Structure 1
Amino acid sequence: CKNTIDILKYAGFSQGNYYSLFCSVLVYTKSTITQIERRFDIPSSIVGIIDGSFEMGNLLVITVVSYFGAKFHRPRIIGAGVLLMAMGTLLMALPHFLMGRYEYESVASPVNDAGNFTVTSPCTAGSQNIAQQLTAGCDKGEEQGSLMWLVLLLGNSIRGIGEATVGPLGMAFIDDYARPENSAFYIGCLYTISVIGPLFGYSLGSYCANLYVDIGFVDKESVLITPQDSRWVGAWWLGYLVAGALSVLSAVPFWFLPSALPEVPQPAEPDASSGQPVHTCPDLDFVPSLKRLLSNKIYVLYLIFNALIFNGFVIIVTYTPKYFEQQFGQSASRANFLFGITSIPAMCLGIFLSGVIMKRFNLDQLGAAKMGFVTYIAGFLCTVPYFVLSCPNMDVAGITVPYQRSALAGDVDVSLLSSCNAGCGCSLNQWDPVCGQNGVTYVSACHAGCNSTHGSGMNTNFHDCRCVQNWGVSEVNSTAVLGQCPRQSSCSTVFYIFLALQSLSFFLLCLGSVPLFLICLRTVEPELKSLSAGMFMLVLRLMGGIPAPIYFGALIDSTCLKWGSRKCGGRGACRMYDTQTFR
């Protein structure tokens, strides 16, 4: 009983507090993927590199820290790592303060802003002046921040270096001072406590995504786009300031923890020949220890299996909110919020029950492996229906549907120019969508062939749109409004079914998490526990955490139907994806 109190009082509270915060920063970074992509005008593959930089920094030091860190004051080494993570987190917010204000193209005039241009007829050759005004200053070198994403990459790498002290040292610390039959339960409790972090991270990401990126610096009434718009950028930087400050505070308790807890008698390994207990001494040589570890066939097979599983996990956590935005038409704020409140509690319950089952039935290594195998297969089967739970592409003239209703039966003309807007002088790089009265989205009011504009700000209306009339709409009703047309109501039903199946899948997958992790610690010699955990995390990052967001980001880029353009030329962030291919 005293041992339980010591574990939970000293190691459990501090580790749980840190893991909760660490997970919140980790998932917050995932939640800002689309915001960063749009703010820095970079494709998903580059965002994947930024996301994978955490793992790159981590693997640089994790093996050495795992081995040599176990021989020193582990809690203080962990505290130093947490401070390093705080520095990296704060650094990731820096680009916002070094870059200029976020600019987006729009033909609408802000409310009561007489200083800005006002377009009274989008369908004129003069509409090309809009692009010229937006690119003003490029020749003078006034464009800022095109490479500022490198600061994010550096900050995330520093975070990864700091985290390398926590995982292997913390888990081995608990396992060293817990009775063998209680170790799984403690680790399960620790992971369960850490669920507060992801919930906080996704909630913070949802809140910040709903705030305009330059909040406090621009008038809210002058913002002509909504969170549902593919040009919207939320206050992605704000969460990094909050998380960085909290990380500094969470580092303090580690400096006051003892270097060791009261010893718990551990069963000695019996000698194979005499059957007598043999107490082994730690091997002080790193290379021989690593060789002994990698000669363990069960451990190596365990690494390969988890590397494959981790690839899928990283992809899901990184790009699921983005998938919700593109496939189901959700805003970034709503996508992060719903993903957090549905998936995280399911994962929490699965992890907790995983530890309880291990303790209740006292499963050995073979029993743990069987439990992990069954739960992973069941979790995978729950993902099979994903392929039929999708929504059709949004109707965008010249991209997914033709400009004329009569051409629906044939092939879609992928050209953005048609007879109804041929004389308008529309830019092919423009993305300022409007929704026509016919329910079709047009790339801009110019591409819709609109001849007049009334109102200002979000109340801007476009009239006499010739391309809308091509769908059989009368001249009186041939109008369009700012923004993309809403999705079909049936898409919402499909979305909620998808959420339910995803939560069930996460629950089953996490039900086997603790048994599989205990295999990592129990299949190796006692003195190699920290090294085995460190090598485990290194392999996951090297073979899963780094390549997965990069190669899958490149696959997502290949499904883009309409690319945005940077202010001074060049391809920017994707504005619209092919949802059928993305699926």
Structure 2
Amino acid sequence: IYFGAKLHRPKIIAVGCLLMSFGTFLIAMPHFLIGSYKIETSVRPSVNSSNTLPPCSSGSTVAGCERDSSVSMWIYVFLGNVLRGIGETPVQPLGISYIDDYAQSENAALYIGCVQTISVIGPVFGYLLGSLCAKIYVDIGQTVTITPGDARWVGAWWLGYIIAGAITLMSAIPFWFLPKSLPMPLDKHDTSCTPEWILLSTDFVPALKSLLGNPVYILYLCVTIIQFNSLIGMVTYKPKYIEQHYGQSASKANFLMGMINIPAVALGMFTGGVAMKKYKLGIMGAAKFAFGTSLLGYFLSLFFLAMGCENSKVAGITVSYTGLSYQERSLFSDCNLGCLCSRREWDPVCGENGISYVSPCLAGCTSSTGSARNTVFGNCRCLALADAQPGNLTATPGQCPRRDSCDKIFPYFLALSVLSSFIISLGGTPGFVLLVRCIKPELKSLALGIHTLATRTLAGIPAPIYFGAIIDSTCLKWGYKTCGGRGACRIYNTSAYRWDIFKTLKHLKSALTNGSAELEALKKEESNSIHCEQFILALDRNPDRETHL
């Protein structure tokens, strides 16, 4: 970045766009190299009018174990992200420094605000594209028996990368035709003849020493690292939070993030730039403005704790088979002892009593009519335990919908989310202006490059990892792969989910300075999870029913 600032910046940005495009295409490659996605389900795709399930069967055919051949697919994803990271590096630092060098001082903040706003609008289209792809099954054209709201549904994730790669490739074209430099404004001095432009290698270390010795820059860097940890954690897992906590589909969660939340962030950044231009805020004014908006946004986020929903009713996990809440989880009951059900499968059905069951077998169902999504399981004995006046004891595929009370809270959650996002993002543009104004003009590109590197390394990489680890600690039911090993989480403890995320955001600063204790706690949780998984697998392999129970 430092040497790139002295070369042809637009063409370096164009090369970065080409690398990002190639890396994006590389990430989508695994879809074309592996076979079709297989769903474990008890619902038959055939069109038979009726069928009687054996009383001692799980109601599904166990697929054979097929080990992956050839190279692991994660390598393609890893290399693609590496190329995208390399290509993305020069875009923002060189672009913002290019604008700041050749724009008048009073207009620079507005221009940077426009660029920041457009960079936030990009994720809007990303979320909308993700919403569209999430509605399409991963293997386009294949008929499946589950809906997009099912935890086993996998959308056409690869399609979004193909489209994004093509757009990134086209965006590289205009940068090739931009000049190396523009006419210098009258209120700025040309620094092209300073000693920093003469020696490219011998002045790097002194420049870096001068930059790292700037206390304002170092303080701003530390603050933005903390803010980016919470921001990236929110952007990464907020759709998942909406999906799990409020019972929305992945497609709708992405749509809402793209149409409601992200535009509020873009509007906040643009408004912050307009406010700086109108009130002519200096460095101290920008710092106070950014601090005040961040603090107000944090206090508003505390109200999210009052907007929770109860866990969905799943027999043997969140409620007992009699419909009462309880702490001890047991998937087996007197109503399904006559069936050799597996505790590892996740094929939920919704009973007419409003309680979900992990599978038709664990619901005690012995018959079914219809086919595919229109299947109705009958004579489900476990439904009688939770209903004083049982009816037909039938169940349908999929989890039961959330309560009406949860649907009433959801709009208030969205409104508060938009308001807090707007207020916090007001300080985005003043913060960037503070960054470029507190350092020497010839060090702007290097300062922005180190800022980008620090936020990507200390926030972009660890935040999704420890946020994901904390979220996984609230999982109530794990899925399992065909050949063994833990798969994706099927249902979370939403109350613990909400509190754990809040505690992470609240103690984020202390977690960064005292990371060793936090990591040890996460290691213990992971170790306990592994031991529990091994114990469950041992129980499944034991044919003795008494020992199994």
Q: Unpaired segments of 5 or more residues in structure 1? A: 1-65, 270-276
Q: Distance in 2 between matches of 1:475 and 1:439?
A: 12
Give 1:516's aligned residue: 431
Give 2:545's aligned residue: none
Give 1:120's aligned residue: 52
What is the DSSP-based 3-state SS (H/G/I as helix, E as strand, rest coil) of the residue aligned with 1:507? helix
Map residues 494-533 of structure 1 onto 2, 5 A cutoff: 494-533=409-448
Give 1:262's aligned residue: 183
Residue 100 of structure 1 aligns to which amino acid in structure 2?
G
What is the DSSP-based 3-state SS (H/G/I as helix, E as strand, rest coil) of the residue aligned with 2:176? helix
Equivalent in 456, 463, 478 of residue 541 of structure 1: 456
Equivalent in 66, 73, 76 of residue 11 of structure 2: 76
Once the two structures are superposed, residues 48-102 of structure 1 have per-residue CA deviations (whole angstroms, 9 ceiling, x without a partner) of xxxxxxxxxxxxxxxxxx1010111111110000000000111111111111111
Are 1:94 and 2:25 counterparts? no
- CA shift, 1:150, in A, is 3.2
Give 1:233's aligned residue: 154
Are 1:387 and 2:326 counterparts? no
Equivalent in 551, 556, 569 of residue 466 of structure 2: 551
Q: Is the 8 A contact 1:464 1:476 kept in 2?
A: no
Q: Distance in 1 between matches of 2:48 and 2:228?
A: 51
Are 1:189 and 2:114 counterparts? yes
Map residues 142-541 of structure 1 onto 2, 5 A cutoff: 143=68, 147-216=72-141, 218=142, 220=143, 223-267=144-188, 281-282=195-196, 284=199, 285-405=203-323, 408=324, 411-474=326-389, 476-541=391-456
**CA separation of 1:467/1:413 partners in 2, compared to 1, >3 Å: closer, same or farther?**
farther
- CA shift, 1:200, in A, is 1.3
- CA shift, 1:152, in A, is 1.6
Q: Is the 8 A contact 2:113 2:429 kept in 1?
A: yes
What is the DSSP-based 3-state SS (H/G/I as helix, E as strand, rest coil) of the residue aligned with 1:420? helix
Residue 34 of structure 2 aligns to which amino acid in structure 1?
M
The Cα RMSD (Å) is 2.0
What is the DSSP-based 3-state SS (H/G/I as helix, E as strand, rest coil) of the residue aligned with 1:470? helix
- CA shift, 1:126, in A, is 3.3
Q: Distance in 1 between matches of 2:107 and 2:298?
A: 29
Residue 342 of structure 1 aligns to which amino acid in structure 2?
I
What is the DSSP-based 3-state SS (H/G/I as helix, E as strand, rest coil) of the residue aligned with 1:154? helix
Q: Distance in 1 between matches of 2:496 and 2:61?
A: 31
- CA shift, 1:198, in A, is 2.0
- CA shift, 1:267, in A, is 4.6
What is the DSSP-based 3-state SS (H/G/I as helix, E as strand, rest coil) of the residue aligned with 1:435? strand
Residue 183 of structure 1 aligns to which amino acid in structure 2?
A
Residue 414 of structure 1 aligns to which amino acid in structure 2?
R
Equivalent in 23, 39, 42 of residue 107 of structure 1: 42
Once the two structures are superposed, residues 428-473 of structure 1 have per-residue CA deviations (whole angstroms, 9 ceiling, x without a partner) of 1010000011110000000000111111111111111111011135
Residue 161 of structure 2 aligns to which amino acid in structure 1?
Y
What is the DSSP-based 3-state SS (H/G/I as helix, E as strand, rest coil) of the residue aligned with 2:377? strand
Runs of 4+ in 1 over 6 A off after TM superposition: none
Q: Unpaired segments of 5 or more residues in structure 2? A: 499-549
Q: Is the 8 A contact 2:104 2:188 kept in 1?
A: no
Q: Distance in 1 between matches of 2:3 and 2:151?
A: 48
- CA shift, 1:127, in A, is 2.7
- TM-score by length of structure 2 reads 0.86
Question: 1 or 2 for the larger relative contact order (CA 8 Å, sep ≥6)?
Answer: 1
- TM-score by length of structure 1 reads 0.81
Q: Is the 8 A contact 1:438 1:473 kept in 2?
A: no
Question: Mean alpha-carbon deviation: is it higher for 105-114 or for 361-370?
Answer: 105-114
Residue 178 of structure 1 aligns to which amino acid in structure 2?
A
Give 1:565's aligned residue: 480
Give 1:56's aligned residue: none
% identical equivalent positions: 53
- CA shift, 1:107, in A, is 1.1
Once the two structures are superposed, residues 99-140 of structure 1 have per-residue CA deviations (whole angstroms, 9 ceiling, x without a partner) of 1111111111114389xxx96216x32337x353x2x153xx
**CA separation of 1:179/1:106 partners in 2, compared to 1, >3 Å: closer, same or farther?**
same
- CA shift, 1:486, in A, is 0.3
Q: Is the 8 A contact 1:564 1:575 kept in 2?
A: yes
**CA separation of 1:493/1:150 partners in 2, compared to 1, >3 Å: closer, same or farther?**
farther
Q: Is the 8 A contact 2:65 2:482 kept in 1?
A: no
Give 1:63's aligned residue: none
Q: Is the 8 A contact 1:398 1:412 kept in 2?
A: no
